[in-house]
Structure 1
Amino acid sequence: MPHIDTLSKRESRRDSLLDKVSIAIISTLLIAHNVKWVISE
């Protein structure tokens, strides 16, 4: 049981890290898209 608990904790930590990375990538893409649109105007 303790092994499974440790594994699930590691999984959730990794998931939250993935969420942060995804948010960062999406933010970067949105900013880049907006900048491109402003430049082309």
Structure 2
Amino acid sequence: MRKLAVGVLAGGLFALGAGTAMAVSWHTIPTLSTGGASFTGGTYAF
């Protein structure tokens, strides 16, 4: 049970870190476009 709790906590921290890194990269790159959707200046366009 203790190992499971540690695993869940580690997984949550990893997901949080990955989400933060993704948000930072999206804010530092001014324009991203993939698959018909573009992200420019903090807004999505389809």
User: What is the TM-score with the length of structure 2 in the denominator?
Assistant: 0.64
Aligned residues: 32
Gaps of 5+ in 2: 32-39, 41-46
Gaps of 5+ in 1: 1-8
**CA-atom RMSD in angstroms:** 1.8
Larger relative helix fraction: 1
User: What is the TM-score with the length of structure 1 in the denominator?
Assistant: 0.71
Identity between Structure 1 and Structure 2 (%)? 9
Structure with more relative contact order (C-alpha pairs < 8 Å, separation 6 or more) = 2
Higher gyration radius (CA): 1
